[in-house]
Amino acid sequence: MWLNGGSVPITTKVELWNEIPETQRASDDLLFDEAAKETQTTEGKVRSTACSDKDHSFALVLDRGDQALTFRSKAGFMSGFSDTIWYGEDHFTLCHHVEALRAVVRYRFPADNSYAGELAELELRKELPTSPLPKTDTAPAEKK
């Protein structure tokens, strides 16, 4: 497994970029979120992970709405976490303390129907903070 730790993954950058109204974006700044060939993308909350030292396999159960989707990997995959997660790269593991984090999963179709797919990429993040609503003047209008 490869962790990109300290850098902000491109999917996070694109998500933040999309929060900016188009009229406020610089016209020469373009961001693209490119997925690996033959992969599908889904998002949800991590329910659980399982790591095996014996065969170096990894399993992830993702809650997406009312569905629990299981993804597996035996060949390794790219993974990372956004800067909103306060772990140093050397103190982070996918095997512990990732439950309830938001996940963006890129996967390939499974070999059989017993699971949702083969992991290609996994990005973990905490929910993005919501921007505060602009303050409105709530004072009553003056009577003339």
**Short-list 2, 1, 6, 14, CA closest to 104:** 14
Place of tokens 């999309």: 18
16 vs 51, residue with greater confidence: 51
Q: Which of 39-43, 74-78, 99-103 has the lowest mean pLDDT?
A: 74-78
What is residue 82's three-state secondary structure?
A: coil
Q: Provide the CA 26 distance to its chain's centre, in angstroms.
A: 25
- Two structure tokens written together for 23: 């009229």
Reported as type and span, the H/E element at residue 50 is strand 40-51
Q: What pTM was computed for the model?
A: 0.66
> Any idea what the Cα angle at residue 94 is, between residues 89 and 97, rounded to 5°?
95
Give residue 104's pLDDT. Answer: 92
How confident is the model over 1-32, as pLDDT tens digits?
Answer: 333 343 444 455 556 556 667 777 666 655 44
- Name all domains of the chain by residue range, CATH numbers in brackets: 2-19+39-125 (2.40.50.140)
What is residue 132's three-state secondary structure?
A: coil
How confident is the model over 85-143, as pLDDT tens digits?
Answer: 666 666 778 898 899 999 999 999 999 999 999 999 999 988 766 767 666 666 566 66
